[in-house]
A = this chain, B = another copy of it.
């Protein structure tokens, strides 16, 4: 007896980029079928990178059947039905728009783009493609942490009542050392912004996703604590080490961004994104206080959601540590028995499962490019307020749909 997995229902994936995000997405495509029985089986068809040797090696290691050095080749291949964009933000718009126009579904890493203008073009392309049955999704993977998906469910079900406070932080510490080199993420040309777009984007999306409410305006401060750093010989990623012969270059992005604001629903919100929080490694934290309860989350304990039910008797009221690994919890039932934890990469597997389901069903996956554009507008308002020294700055409303 042979395991003859039917080619019917396959979806060829072409991925661009094979650094950090390329590795997480590869693990997702590799694993999703074993746990989620998706209606479409992803086939890891081809990986695109810039360097021939390194791309080939990455393809072999990560499980891609082929490797190419020109991403445009993906648009021409019949075995690619979906283009997965895992490159820096300055390349997103060109690749995504071209892929959508070529009739390929697109999954694009966040932030959607480096500027609102690029994001608008991408969102317009996604709207146009939708009419042809082509789907686009932006990769805010933290939405797929089971605890945050559960938080959204509880808010939507009214379990915490009217939201009064949103308190979001994304704390990392990998730039504390002033000798850490000038990697691409510190270059405004390539990364768009610093902590703001890289991790601030995540907490803006997470807060809006969980509450179902959007930021109406902000007042902001940003800072670059270390303004020059050693040049990186190969600006390959977080782990790059400086070896530029002592030369230094300017950091052109923010090290930290703080902003407070009001939501359309009338809540007060506080945000902080920083790469200088010594000892905090990946502390994406969110607390939401409502008139009838509260929720709290910290990614460094990502399997836990803390829930306070205001309706509890005072004798036994308290924040509950909900271990979000029960069969009925979002995504958790696909994996292991209760108490057997999930990790970071699972969020990408969940993202893949949701995207495959949407493509198969002919529905729009979330978050859409419009959602990504809206986050971009928040980031632009933050940057604008900070540039002006902290004044109130409304978030541009979305243009009316055509």
Contact = CB atoms under 8 A, between A and B. Distances in A.
A159 B160 CA distance: 24
Given A225-B164, A260-B221, A343-B343, A290 B272 contact: no
A130 to B, nearest CB: 31
A273 B310 CA distance: 20
Given A30-B31, A390-B219, A342 B344 contact: yes
Interface string A37-53: 10000000001000010
A303 B150 CA distance: 21
A66 B1 contact: yes
Contacts of A56: 1, 3
Report the contact-size class of chain A (Cβ under 8 Å from the partner): 35 or more
Nearest to A55: B1
Oligomer copy total: 4
Contacts of A341: 299-300, 302-303, 341, 343-344
Given A1-B52, A68-B1, A262-B221, A322 B326 contact: no
A219 B393 CA distance: 12
Interface in A228-251: 238-239
Contact of A315 (B47, B329, B391): B329
Interface of A: 1-5, 20, 23-24, 26-27, 30-31, 33-34, 37, 47, 52, 56, 59-68, 150, 153-154, 159-160, 164-165, 167, 169, 171-174, 176, 219-221, 223, 225, 238-239, 256, 258-262, 266, 268, 270, 272, 274, 276-283, 289-294, 299-304, 307-310, 312, 314-323, 325-329, 335-346, 389-392
7 contacts: A1-B68, A258-B270, A282-B337, A301-B301, A314-B328, A317-B326, A319-B321
Top 8 closest A-B pairs, CB basis?
A: A281-B339, A282-B339, A279-B308, A343-B343, A318-B320, A340-B344, A318-B322, A219-B390
